[in-house]
Amino acid sequence: MPRPGFLSIDPITHRAALVGHVLDKLDQRPLPAVTVEIIDAPAAYQSRLATLRQGRPNARPDRLVTDGHGLFRWLDLPVGTYTLRASLSGTRYAIATATASVVASTPASAEILLVPTAVTGTVSADNPAGPLAMVRVRMLDSGEVTFAAADGSFTLSPVEPGAARVIELSAQRYITATRTVVLPQGQTTTLPAITLLHS
């Protein structure tokens, strides 16, 4: 019961309308600091956005940044279909889009997979012949490093794209080798099989 002279006000509640997750497509790792933007929306949302920007021209409620767990959410969206665009600063990942349908009863969900620029391959030894584990694989100009698995396979991701990236492969008691590779943005490039020669 309200006190004399005070009005009773119902609490304002906000409901999650669209929740989502941005992941690395190769290893399913959550990606923080990804910009997620509504690029197409129902007329009711576009009208709301236009009205808001009349008083606040720089307002961007249509744009969010994922948290440390790769999560994002919008509250109180009008029902309808939304198109989202996700991008990470730099060129290690390609831009991705997704659609989600918001309904009145339950939150809609969207999982967006960003495709990294990556390089994969396999390394073997010449003597004795067979897969070579623990080979250090390093991008010479930028320093990203990984190590070959027990079967000689490796994946280096995400890396900067480029027309002439140089990869160095080294292991104890073997002669270091290099390979020059073209890495298109947002694609996985597989190198031909590599054999390291015993020193």
Per-residue pLDDT of the chain (199 residues), as tens digits, is: 556 655 555 454 457 689 999 999 999 999 999 999 999 999 999 999 998 888 888 889 999 999 999 999 999 899 999 999 999 998 999 999 999 999 988 889 999 999 999 999 999 999 889 999 999 999 998 889 999 999 999 999 999 999 999 999 999 999 999 999 999 999 999 999 999 999 8
Query: Exposure pattern of 4-39 as b/e (b: 16+ CB <10 Å)?
Result: eeeeeeeeeeeeebbebbbbbbbeeeebeebbbebe
**118 DSSP β-pair partners:** 188
The parent domain of residue 22 ranges over: 16-114
Q: How many domains does the chain fold into?
A: 2
Same domain, 108 and 123: no
End-of-domain residue from the set 114, 129, 153: 114
- Contacts for 97 with CB less than 8 Å, ≥ 6 apart: 39, 83, 84, 85, 86, 112
pTM: 0.82
Closest listed residue to residue 124, CA positions, set 147, 144, 167, 153: 153
End-of-domain residue from the set 114, 139, 158: 114
